Amino acid sequence: MVVFDYPSSLFMQTKQYDVLVIGGGPAGMMAAGRAAECGARVLLLEKNASLGVKLLITGGGRSNVTNAEFDRNIFLGKFKDATKFLFSPLSRFGVQDTLDFFEKHGMPTKIEAEKRVFPVSNSAQSVWDVLVGYMRQGKVVVRSNAEVASLETKEGRVIGVRLKSGEVVEAESYILATGGKSRPETGSTGDGFRFLKRIGHTVIKPNPALVPLRVRETWVHSLSGMSLSEAKITVFQNGKKQESKSGKILFTHFGLSGPLALNMSKGIGEFLQYGEVTISVDLMPKVSVGDLDKQVQALFEGQKNKQVKNSLDGFVQALCIPVILGLANIDGETPVHSVSREERRALVHIVKNLPLTVIGLLGEDKAIVTSGGVALEEVDFQSMRSRLYPNLYIVGDVLNIDRPSGGYSLQLCWTTGFVAGSAASGKKVVF
């Protein structure tokens, strides 16, 4: 699926561009489209055969384009240490601007649980189509299968981009949008980190950030595919409670995924450096232990002659039943009337405290994003311009910005890409 490569003859005739964008992911496409909209001649280089490979798999193929949190302070708070840096760019292109942008380009959106925003089409292809159309309108030149080897610099400026083929491509300004190191099969292999480090930028070592948890217990395999819209995870180390959060989880054959597990993974990874980490999963966080015990008593009272494994159908998900009974040491074929008070309380305890031992995180190949990247102090966030090279702009996952799942990553791409494209165009732009 090659996008719109222009004939090589045309490219050879036109060596000079106003803006050269490295990377055809969401941030790069937004930056290229915006720079062209502002009147710049733009070239985008993409190392893959097509644009937006990772974009098409975001949000489970649905593309969570942003989070509909319109309180700017609350939204900014999700970015933790980067909050003060992002105030300016998000003031110029924020959540509402993202919704307006896609609506204007023919892609209506909808808000789902936890304020996550998706295309009405439920397809990331719709997002891809908008961005490609945006670039086409601006006559952005796209070269696919154009892998960059290095940034060429001289006297404090970037003077060109050297491709793996040896060709050097020149422009007035350069936008680096190569992504981080998550999901390397999509092309995110940390190229930008290497380019920036080589020319003197400080790069914080990237680590998997939003990544599933791997657990020791083998019985978790039997729960693979089961999701809970509301669960609570409590983290323990050395018998002490470390943190506790609620949200959506997904059981997998290796452990836990879903927004809640992903958002807690960075902290859990840090705890793992100091020893064993255990977690307790509350399957019914909105119900107290006492109320849950009363519910189970009432359930049992109406089904005294049933086997206990059959009495729980509808009370918890079917996949859970043998696991819960096994951990509570209750034979599933036991008649309900023979279940002791101690066994019933053990069952309730497991529902409220499903025990798991975290043995690690999946690697960069399974991470949604990675932490690490260029030091934020070395970027002027009013324009996304490098403070070391005045004609270099840095956007998206190349930046050392932690954020949760739920649309925040793509909003970071839209925001930084838009601001960089506006500034790099060299045109006077009123936001």
Joined together, the tokens standing for residue 41 give: 């001649």
* The pair of three-digit structure tokens given for residue 24, joined into one six-digit string: 């055809």
* CA 302 to chain centroid: 46
pLDDT value for 365 = 56
Residue 88 DSSP symbol: H
Nearest to 90 by CA among 404, 408, 398: 408
Integer Cα distance of 247 and 356 in angstroms = 17
Listed in sequence order, the DSSP H helices in 248-288 are 258-272
> What is the DSSP track for 150-177?
EEEEETTEEEEEEETTS-EEEEEEEEE-
b/e per residue 143-160 (b: at least 16 CB within 10 A): bbebebbbbebeeeebeb
Dist. CA 405–CA 426, nearest whole Å = 34
CA of 382: how far to CAs of 28, 70, 178, in Å? 18, 21, 20
Picking from 161, 228, 171, the residue whose alpha carbon sits closest to that of residue 198 is 161
Buried b (16+ CB within 10 A) or exposed e, 330-366: beeeeebeebeeebbebbbbbbbbbebebebbbebeb
Residue type, 53: V
For each of the domains in the chain, give its residue range(s) and CATH number, in order of start. Answer: 8-208+370-424 (3.50.50.60), 212-362 (1.10.8.50)
Residue 11 is predicted with a pLDDT of 40
Comparing C-alpha atoms, which of 158, 159, 170, 82 is closest to residue 379?
82
Q: Of the candidates 127, 117, 112, 166, which has an alpha carbon nearest to the alpha carbon of residue 33? A: 127
Closest CA to 394 of 167, 151, 210, 165: 151
With a cut of 70, which residues of the chain have pLDDT below it? Answer: 1-15, 181-189, 208, 363-370, 428-431
Q: Give the pLDDT confidence score for residue 188 in this predicted structure.
A: 60
End-to-end distance of the chain based on CA atoms, in angstroms? 35
Task: Give which of 37, 3, 36, 6 is closest to 20, Cα–Cα.
Answer: 36
Helix (H) or strand (E) segment spanning residue 94: none
Q: Pairing between strand 277-282 and 379-380?
A: unpaired
Q: What phi and psi values does residue 412 have, to the nearest 5 degrees?
A: -60, -40
- Residue 71's SS3 state is coil
Q: What's the confidence (pLDDT) of residue 60?
A: 81
Residue among 207, 220, 180, 182 at smallest CA distance from 196: 180
The vertex-327 CA angle with 325 and 332, nearest 5°, equals: 20
The DSSP secondary structure of 18-34, one letter per residue, reads EEEEE--SHHHHHHHHH
Amino acid at 169: V
